[in-house]
Amino acid sequence: MCLLGGCSSAPTSYETGKTNLEEQNYTQAIEDFQDAVEEGDHAVESWRGIGIAWTEQGVYDKAQEAFETALGLTGRSDRAMRKDLNLYLADAQYHQGDYQGCVDTCDTLLESSREKDAYFLRGSAYLHLDDYSQADTNFARVVSGSKDYEDYLDVYMVYRDCGLNADGSEYLEEALDIDPGNGEDYYHRGRIYYYLEDYKNAEEALKTSADKGYSTAQLYLGRVYLAAGDTQKAKENYEQCLDVQELTAGAYGGLAYCSVLEEDYDSALSYIQKGLEQDDQDENQALLFSQIVVYERMADYDTAKEKISQYLEQYPADEDAIRENYFLETR
């Protein structure tokens, strides 16, 4: 009994779902949002949350169902919500290989909003449909007047995924005309030089970035040294990264990769375990997958099968892991 006030009510299912979504507890978030729907509380927002949770887990068919359900409950007058849901829907369609569906959804979205992300998704879909002219037209809308390095890098990555590196490189060259300012700018310039295989300039840009306080650049330097064939320098760089808390898990992953290159698999597994002990949500998936690969290299297929089974429970839509699982089942 509250006699003097100050008592707060228990959070609703919707509020708990939002919290779990923010904390990347996706399975629990979905259950919370489903409870909220049944309770008639924030139905549209709850279906949106369900869709985002499935998206983050890579389960795009269920994400699409959720976004379509949310759209069906959204009034025509709520333009902001409809724009948001259509963007998520187009992304889900794209990741399922429904490129024409993605184009159609973006067409609907762009009738009322000149949204850069919609042009990017539509351009990406057209590229997969081999409609290079339409892809170029849409990507031109994305980078037109942009001073954001990531716009150009994002477009390049789509071309790269389609095996069209040379075409995508034109966007990287264009991005280099942007004058860098802060450490993040130099970090992205380093990435651009890396993809252009200009490792000297990549190193210089990333060192400048790190000097300006953008710590992630230090970790990326290891990738540059590895690409340049200098494993020892990469190892020394990753060892330095261990002193920076937010880089520790990634640094252990880098050291594990160096050990794999040297066929020192016991050390690789040790580094991976140390990385996992950091419980870094951004690095755990890569570390767990690397662990599977190392056991394969060691020809310990029983342990690899066990690990990949556990991995797919957490990341059921990882296509690379699904292919690895098929390979292991044939051993």
Burial class (CB in 10 A: 0-12, 13-18, 19+), 117: middle
The percentage of residues in the chain with a pLDDT greater than 90, rounded to a whole number, is: 85
Point out the domain boundary residue: 229, 260, 292: 229
Residue 32 domain flag: no
Banded model confidence at residue 327, pLDDT cuts 50, 70, 90: low
Residues 197 and 260 in one domain: no
Residue ranges of the alpha helices (H) in 57-164?
A: 60-73, 79-95, 99-110, 116-128, 132-143, 149-161
Banded model confidence at residue 210, pLDDT cuts 50, 70, 90: very high
How far apart, in whole angstroms, are the C-alpha atoms of residue 231 and residue 253?
A: 14
How far apart, in whole angstroms, are the C-alpha atoms of residue 99 and residue 107?
A: 12
pLDDT of residue 317: 72
CATH of the domain at 295: 1.25.40.10
Residues 212 and 247 in one domain: no
Residue 138 domain flag: no
Question: 248-261 and 284-297 helices cross at what angle (nearest 10)?
Answer: 20
CB neighbours of 295 closer than 8 A, spacing ≥ 6?
A: 269, 301, 303, 304, 307
Residues 208 and 222 in one domain: yes
Banded model confidence at residue 113, pLDDT cuts 50, 70, 90: confident
Residues 162 and 245 in one domain: no
- Pair of tokens at residue 198: 């200009």
Residues 318 and 282 in one domain: yes
How far apart, in whole angstroms, are the C-alpha atoms of residue 139 and residue 123?
A: 6
pLDDT in tens, 6-38: 555 788 999 999 999 999 899 999 999 999 999
pLDDT in tens, 40-83: 999 999 999 999 999 998 899 999 999 999 999 988 778 999 99
Point out the domain boundary residue: 229, 260, 282: 229
Residue 304 domain flag: yes
| pLDDT at residue 3 is higher than 50 | no
Whether this prediction's pTM lies above 0.75 is answered by: yes
Domain count of the chain? 2
Residue 267 domain flag: yes
Residue 4 domain flag: no
Point out the domain boundary residue: 175, 198, 229: 229
| pLDDT at residue 158 is higher than 90 | yes
Q: CA 33: distance to chain centroid?
A: 23
Taking a C-beta distance cutoff of 8 angstroms, is the pair 268, 292 a contact? no
Domain that holds residue 239: 234-331
| pLDDT at residue 136 is higher than 90 | yes
| pLDDT at residue 148 is higher than 50 | yes
Residues 239 and 268 in one domain: yes
pLDDT in tens, 216-249: 999 999 999 999 999 999 999 999 999 999 999 9
pLDDT of residue 1: 40
pLDDT of residue 329: 63
3-state secondary structure of 215: coil
Residues 222 and 307 in one domain: no
pLDDT of residue 106: 98
The percentage of residues in the chain with a pLDDT greater than 70, rounded to a whole number, is: 94
Residues 244 and 197 in one domain: no
pLDDT in tens, 174-198: 999 999 999 999 999 999 999 999 9
- Pair of tokens at residue 51: 């869709």
| CA-based max dimension of the chain | 72
Residue 308 domain flag: yes
